[in-house]
Amino acid sequence: MDYRVLLYYCYTPLADPDAFREEHHRLCLRLNLLGRIIVAAEGLNGTVSGRTADCEEYMRAVKADPRFAALEFKVEPVAAHTFQKLHVRVKPEIVHSSLHHVRPHEKTGQHLSPQEFKALKDRDDVVVVDVRSDYEYNVGRFKNAVTLDIENFRDFPDRVKRLEEFKDKKILTYCTGGVKCEKASAFLLEQGFENVYQLHGGIIKYGLEEGGEDFDGKCYVFDSRVAVDVNRVNPTVISQCYSCGTPSDRLINCANPHCNAHVALCEACGETLAGACSTTCQEHPDKRPYDGTGLYPKQSNHYNPEQALLSYKAPARPQ
């Protein structure tokens, strides 16, 4: 496979995010990369795909900047681009949360390598905490992990009180690639939790380095693959078909665009309901044609990344 997917983040101060965004966008265009990149005053967060040689040059260019010396890339081989567009955007945070005051580059939970995480996760004095959203952990999570019933990471601070009973234990947080854990673990320290750790590199790195052992189901990812296998040791399926309840990790978007629910739907129910999550949605007059995948990426035939660069307008600064 001559393509790669790169998943990465780095919390580091950027004095001029707008200028960095334009420079970084040009780099991605030159290397024919596609994906989603977020730039903020607090750092950089992205997932991109491209040919192997282009990805290698991109990694060299990013690491050559002293501000990103600590950045680590999670690299996975793929058959083709996993994105249809390139978006490089400036936002207030590199991961949307309600923790604007938290500065992970100054203080955060102790990083655990995948090997260290594996050695600790089953101990009696440890609790493993999934800081991701419900649609992510419903398709895959570590055995016995505590989930917090959140629809969006910005809800995390309101759920921390549910962990009070574990204050005397070691808290091991994890997420897809590590970026959410940086803020989650820092906030837990702020709230008085003393022994807070995070899986460095997240589920993806754990899968690459430790075979994904004891991660049940699949890992939700934010590209066209939707969910990927990470467990090569003792894999299992934990999600159920939204319609019939049989085990299924086949994620779709409901064919009714007004619903667009992101759920697991087995192939049989997918055919029966023509890609809809229910008979009501199946009968909706605006239902989209079902091609067997249940995925409806936005068409990008007229997308021009160069024009996107030229038409970019920096967000208005607060007065």
Separation of alpha carbons 270 and 261, rounded Å: 13
| pTM exceeding the 0.85 threshold for the entire prediction | yes
Q: Among 122-126, 245-249, 280-284, 296-300, whose mean pLDDT is lowest?
A: 296-300
Residue identified by tokens 């995010």 is 17
Q: How confident is the model at residue 301 (pLDDT cuts 50, 70, 90)?
A: very low
Q: How confident is the model at residue 98 (pLDDT cuts 50, 70, 90)?
A: confident
- Dump pLDDT digits (tens) for 225-277: 999 999 999 999 999 999 999 999 999 999 999 999 989 999 999 999 999 99
Altogether, the residues listed in the chain come to a count of: 319
Separation of alpha carbons 240 and 248, rounded Å: 5
Encoded tokens for 39: 């730039």
Evaluate whether residue 230 is within a structural domain.
Answer: no
Residue identified by tokens 């607090």 is 42
Q: Which residues pair with 262 in a beta bridge?
A: 253
**Of 94, 120, 135, which residue sits at a domain end?**
94
One domain for residues 89 and 119? no
Evaluate whether residue 24 is within a structural domain.
Answer: yes
One domain for residues 54 and 123? no
SS3 for the chain is: CCEEEEEEEEECCCCCHHHHHHHHHHHHHHCCCEEEEEEECCEEEEEEEEEHHHHHHHHHHHHCCHHHCCCCCEEEEECCCCCCCEEEEECCCCCCCCCCCCCCCCCCCEEECHHHHHHHCCCCCEEEEECCCHHHHCCEEECCCECCCCCCHHHHHHHHHHHHHHCCCEEEEECCCCHHHHHHHHHHHHCCCCCEEEECCHHHHHHHHHCCCCEEECEECCCCCCEECCCCCCCCCCCECCCCCCECCCEEECCCCCCCCEEECCHHHHHHCCCCCCHHHHCCCCCCCCCCCCCCCCCCCCCCHHHHHHCCCCCCCCC
Encoded tokens for 283: 């009968």
Of 142, 141, 173, 170, the residue nearest 156 (C-alpha) = 173
Q: How confident is the model at residue 296 (pLDDT cuts 50, 70, 90)?
A: confident
Would the pLDDT of 167 be above 80? yes
Q: Which residues are catalytic?
A: 175
One domain for residues 90 and 119? no
Evaluate whether residue 307 is within a structural domain.
Answer: no
One domain for residues 118 and 202? yes
Evaluate whether residue 22 is within a structural domain.
Answer: yes
Q: Among 10-24, 91-105, 174-188, whose mean pLDDT is lowest?
A: 91-105
One domain for residues 191 and 275? no
Q: How confident is the model at residue 302 (pLDDT cuts 50, 70, 90)?
A: very low
One domain for residues 87 and 7? yes
When pLDDT is averaged across residues 122-151 and rounded to a whole number, the result is: 96
- Per-residue confidence (pLDDT) for residue 114, from 0 to 100: 98
**Of 94, 120, 153, which residue sits at a domain end?**
94
One domain for residues 74 and 150? no
Supply the range of the domain harboring residue 131: 110-217
The mean predicted confidence, pLDDT, of the chain is: 93
**How many domains, the chain?**
3
- Note the Cα 81 to chain centre separation in Å: 17
Evaluate whether residue 225 is within a structural domain.
Answer: no
Encoded tokens for 200: 């460095």
Encoded tokens for 137: 């952990």
One domain for residues 201 and 263? no
Evaluate whether residue 168 is within a structural domain.
Answer: yes
Evaluate whether residue 148 is within a structural domain.
Answer: yes
Evaluate whether residue 99 is within a structural domain.
Answer: no
Q: Domain containing 35 — which CATH number?
A: 3.30.70.100
Of 111, 104, 114, the residue nearest 45 (C-alpha) = 104
Q: Domain containing 202 — which CATH number?
A: 3.40.250.10
One domain for residues 12 and 73? yes
